[in-house]
A and B are shown apart, each in its own frame.
Chain A
Amino acid sequence: MASERIESIKSLFTAKSAKVETNKGEQYYANLYEKCKTRLESLQELPPVSNKIKIESALEDEGVNRRDFLKWASATTAMLMLPASFTPLVAKAATLMNRVPVIWIELQDCAGNSEALLRSDGPKVDEIILDIISLEFQETLMAASGHQAEKQLEDAIATFKGKYLLFVEGSVPMGMDGQFGTIGAKAETFYDHLKRVSDDAAAVVAVGSCATFGGIPAAAPNPTDAKGVMEVVNGKPIINIPACPANPANMVGVLLHYVLTGQIPELDSLLRPKFAFGYRIHDNCERRAHFDAGEYVEEWGDTGAKNNFCLYKMGCKGPMTFNNCSIVRYNEGVNWPIGVGRGCIGCSEPDFWDKYAYERPMANANIKAPTGGVEKTVDQFGLGLLTAAGIGIGIHAAASVVAGKKGETNE
């Protein structure tokens, strides 16, 4: 534990933190363009892995026309922080998404990230793209079950050894030798399951807060000793896409980046792609002016709430949360938590359920005192400390007065 802590401190000193380089110079992008072009050409020569659906027909079936698709392509280019000249490459990469095999496994979670993709009312381009990827295994979606499903997973691992991207949804229960979560006919623990599938993956993408940092299963008192993927899997490139649920736009972004460049995107110190998690919600919030003005919603449904005032006093954690939902929003720009008037719960940050999601300002929320034990607000703890000091002073002062008088009589 101690060595891990030292490592984490070292990594924080050497990490390039949240800094986002939005312009890397003309030469850099010219080289990248050529590289991406060559990569896409070589991908195009490969046959689709197994998903034969063509994006053109998929888009047409869902009523998305070419113009909408290209609008999406330019927006996604911007999201990935690439110059506008990359738009044709991004559009082309989208058509080649089925060249990269993807295995998606589910551990201790609510399947909310799968749901986020599936249940959208009228799938948008992001969701359609995820329809046409070469998804070799996905427990929630696949028709096969039991031994057949297991067989399919084994086949996929054997066929695409070292080439597939592994998407993981859900945390890994480590308590009781991992017996809190088992899967399949052989009752393989989630930990063994993850190990087996990740050993042959090209890279591991942890999707959602549970898979990245433990999420809700890891919330206090964390009965199953739930851990995020990055604490369990070693020796593989890991990309974290936190948030509850993770934004499909960011999943597509990571996949597209991989298809386009053959590399994982630039990551921050928590292994989150910087293009998505390099910015703070607060700094791109549409209600920021109300924050600076001191105009806050005081209670749900009050005049402030009706006038879109800042939700800071209702516990909005935008000022501490790094995510791009204030920019790209959810469901292709339809809306996002602050837009619907209920504040940010910091779902893309570690320990979000215990440290961010209490829907009150931090100063007014019950959190554990540094010593552990009783849950009090910071201010209650502080006032207690002050009271104790006051009592101590009172006793000392009173005793001094008494002792002083005695001293005088003695003299």
Chain B
Amino acid sequence: MKEGYKKVKRMTPAMRIVHWANFFSMIVAIVTGLYIAEPYYQTLIAESAVDKYVMAWNRWGHFIVAIIFDVTSIIVAYLYFFSRFEKPYKKVIPTGKNIKEFLAVLMNLITLNRKKDFDSSHLDSFNAVYFAIFHLLLAWMLFSGLQLYVHGLESGESSIGSWWPAMLHLVTDWTIPFSHAIVGGTGPATLMDVRIMHHYIMWFIITWVVIHIYYQVWRTIYWQEGDIAIVFGGTKFVKEDKEA
């Protein structure tokens, strides 16, 4: 270890597993989701329709990663409030201290690291808010996606019982008027509004990811605290005199 630096823990193994599970799920979700939206390659298999099953496999993959996202989201939501390591909700609440820290980190980004008057050894408010935006976007994808999925269960039955579609309707039907409020239109809210918003938000998430990766790399280079290592080893390094 470099002289004058000390190691600080930033991500628990659980958080890192969630991160990489999300990483791989997202790639699969985008690749299959784009196919579902508009099949961009043709099936070149000389088999009858019953054997090929290309769209069905894409949808299957999409649903499987959706389930993984469901699970990781529930874990993340739980950790927000009950984590023994750090409770991110404390950094998202707009208290005076958090707003001040948020602005300080934002200024650091805007002034290209000329100004850095905040403690970068632990989760800062700016990062917490940035991740909260991601969690909200992802939550939207889950609810709107389950709404699109339940259209196929119109009989009210499923292989695991009628509670499943009933529950999905209860928790996802709000996405229809919500999407309509954003998409607009003259008639009443319609199912296509949900599909349009599900697709739009994918692009917002991709944009989020691009900026996220850039910011982590940028921090690593300019803060010189090894931030990029957090997601692999769970730790970064800070100057000892900085540590509170």
Contact = CB atoms under 8 A, between A and B. Distances in A.
Interface in A1-52: 5, 8-9, 12-13, 15, 17-22
A296 B39 CA distance: 9
Interface residues of B, number: 62
A144 interface: no
Contacts of B54: 292-294
B151 A319 contact: yes
* Most chain B beta carbons < 10 A, residue from A317, A322, A393: A393
A137 interface: no
B165 A19 contact: yes
Contacts of A312: 39
Contact of B154 (A19, A351, A362, A400): A19
B16 interface: no
Interface string A268-306: 001000000011101100000111111110100000000
Interface stretch (A98-106, A185-193, A195-203, A213-221): A213-221
Interface majority SS (helix, strand, loop, mixed), chain B? helix
A291 B170 CA distance: 29
Given A8-B189, A9-B177, A361-B38, A280 B152 contact: yes
Contact of B155 (A20, A355, A399): A20
Nearest to A367: B196
Interface string B43-83: 10000011111111010000000000000000000000000
A5 B189 CA distance: 10
B192 interface: yes
Interface residues of A, number: 77
A226 B154 contact: no
A350 B184 CA distance: 12
Interface in B178-212: 178, 181-193, 195-197, 199-200, 202-204, 206-207, 210-211
Interface majority SS (helix, strand, loop, mixed), chain A? helix
Contacts of B135: none
Nearest to B186: A218
B163 interface: no
28 contacts: A5-B177, A20-B155, A213-B187, A213-B188, A214-B187, A292-B56, A293-B54, A294-B54, A320-B151, A320-B192, A320-B195, A322-B154, A350-B188, A355-B183, A355-B190, A355-B193, A363-B38, A364-B38, A370-B183, A372-B184, A381-B200, A385-B204, A386-B203, A389-B211, A396-B218, A400-B113, A400-B218, A404-B113
